[in-house]
Amino acid sequence: MKESYLLKTILIAILTFASLPPGMTQSAQNARIKIDVERTIGEVNKNIYGNFVEHLGRCVYGGIYDPDSPLADENGFRKDVMEAAKGLNIPLLRYPGGNFVSNYNWKDGVGSDRPKRLELAWQRLETNEVGTNEFMTYAKELGTEPYFAVNLGTGTIKEAQQWVEYTNVKEGPYYAELRKKHGYPEPHNIKYWSLGNEMDGYWQMGHLNAIDYSKKAREAGKLMRLTSPDIKLIAAGSSNYRPDANPDEWNRTILEELKDYIDYIALHIYVGNPDDNYYNFMSTPLVIEERTKIVKGMINEVMQRTLRRDHTEDPIYIAWDEYNVWYRARSGANMVGDRALEEHYNLEDALVISGMLNAFIRNADVVKMANMAQLVNVIGPIFTSKDDMFKQTIYYPLALFANNMYGTSLDLFVDCETYDTEEFHLGLGETTTKQTDVPYLDVSATYQDDEITIAVVNRHKDNAITTDLIAQTGEFAGSLEIYEVNGPDIKAKNDFGETNVETKKLENIKAKGKTVTYAFPPHSMTLIKGKIKL
* pLDDT the model gives residue 19: 41
In degrees and rounded to multiples of 5, residue 128 shows phi and psi of 65, 20
Instruction: Please tell me the distance from the alpha carbon of residue 197 to that of residue 97, in angstroms, as a whole number.
Output: 7
Angle at 256 between CA 99 and CA 244, to 5 degrees: 50
Q: Are strands 502-510 and 451-458 parallel, antiparallel or unpaired?
A: unpaired
Instruction: Please tell me the distance from the alpha carbon of residue 414 to that of residue 317, in angstroms, as a whole number.
Output: 27
Instruction: Please tell me the distance from the alpha carbon of residue 304 to that of residue 286, in angstroms, as a whole number.
Output: 28
* pLDDT the model gives residue 15: 41
Nearest C-alpha neighbor of 449 from the set 534, 528, 510, 512: 534
Nearest C-alpha neighbor of 452 from the set 34, 30, 32: 34
* pLDDT the model gives residue 307: 80
- If DSSP codes are grouped into helix, strand and coil, which group holds residue 15? helix
Give the pLDDT confidence of 39-49 residue by residue, as tens digits: 999 999 999 99
Q: How far is CA 92 from CA 54, 192, 369, 414, in A?
A: 14, 9, 9, 31
Judge whether 263 and 223 are in contact, CB under 8 Å: no
Q: Burial code of 403-421, b = ≥16 C-beta within 10 A, e = fewer?
A: ebbbbbbbebebbbbbbeb
Answer yes or no: is pLDDT of 465 > 70: yes
Those residues whose C-beta lies under 8 Å from the C-beta of residue 280, and which sit 6 or more positions away, are 273, 421, 422, 424
Query: How much of the chain exceeds pLDDT 90, in percent?
Result: 91
Query: Other C-beta atoms within 10 Å of 144: how many?
Result: 20
Answer yes or no: is pLDDT of 16 > 60: no
Exactly one of 165, 322, 417, 484 is catalytic; name it.
322
**Is 322 marked active-site?**
yes
Query: Other C-beta atoms within 10 Å of 73: how many?
Result: 12
Return the H-helix or E-strand segment holding 100: none
| pTM of structure | 0.94
Answer yes or no: is pLDDT of 306 > 90: no
**Is 141 marked active-site?**
no
* pLDDT the model gives residue 451: 97
Judge whether 135 and 154 are in contact, CB under 8 Å: no
pLDDT band at 275 (very low <50, low <70, confident <90, very high): very high
pLDDT band at 430 (very low <50, low <70, confident <90, very high): confident
pLDDT band at 18 (very low <50, low <70, confident <90, very high): very low
Exactly one of 54, 134, 198, 417 is catalytic; name it.
198
HSE at residue 292, side-chain half, CA atoms within 13 A, is 25
Q: Span 110-120, mean pLDDT?
A: 97
* pLDDT the model gives residue 2: 41
Q: What is the rounded radius of gyration, in angstroms, for the C-alpha atoms of the chain?
A: 24
Surface-to-core class of residue 478, CB atoms within 10 Å of its CB (0-12 exposed, 13-18 middle, 19+ buried) = middle
Instruction: Please tell me the distance from the alpha carbon of residue 454 to that of residue 68, in angstroms, as a whole number.
Output: 43
DSSP string, 206-266: T---HHHHHHHHHHHHHHHHHHSTT-EEEEE-----STT--HHHHHHHHHHHHTTT-SEEE
Answer yes or no: is pLDDT of 354 > 90: yes
Instruction: Please tell me the distance from the alpha carbon of residue 440 to that of residue 33, in angstroms, as a whole number.
Output: 12
Taking CB atoms within 8 Å and a gap of at least 24, the contacts of 115-119 are 119/55
Q: Would you put residue 422 in left (φ > 0), alpha (ψ -120 to 50) or beta?
A: beta
pLDDT band at 17 (very low <50, low <70, confident <90, very high): very low
Q: Span 25-31, mean pLDDT?
A: 67
pLDDT band at 514 (very low <50, low <70, confident <90, very high): very high
- If DSSP codes are grouped into helix, strand and coil, which group holds residue 194? strand
Instruction: Please tell me the distance from the alpha carbon of residue 446 to that of residue 438, in angstroms, as a whole number.
Output: 22
- How big, in percent rounded to 5, are the helix, strand and coil portions of the chain? 30, 30, 45
Distance of CA 469 to the CA centre of its chain: 27
Residue with the bigger pLDDT between 107 and 310: it is: 107
Judge whether 133 and 96 are in contact, CB under 8 Å: no
Judge whether 50 and 91 are in contact, CB under 8 Å: yes
* pLDDT the model gives residue 14: 41
Residue with the bigger pLDDT between 244 and 439: it is: 439
DSSP string, 293-340: HHHHHHHHHHHTT---TT------EEEEEEEEE--TT-SGGGGSSTTT
Those residues whose C-beta lies under 8 Å from the C-beta of residue 245, and which sit 6 or more positions away, are 200, 238
pLDDT band at 314 (very low <50, low <70, confident <90, very high): confident
Give the pLDDT confidence of 356-393 residue by residue, as tens digits: 999 999 999 999 999 999 999 999 999 999 999 999 99
Q: How far is CA 328 from CA 121, 332, 492, in A?
A: 19, 11, 16
| Pure H helices in 339-412 | 347-362, 395-404
Judge whether 198 and 204 are in contact, CB under 8 Å: yes
Instruction: Please tell me the distance from the alpha carbon of residue 362 to that of residue 367, in angstroms, as a whole number.
Output: 9
- Mean pLDDT, the chain, whole residue set: 94
Instruction: Please tell me the distance from the alpha carbon of residue 510 to that of residue 248, in angstroms, as a whole number.
Output: 48
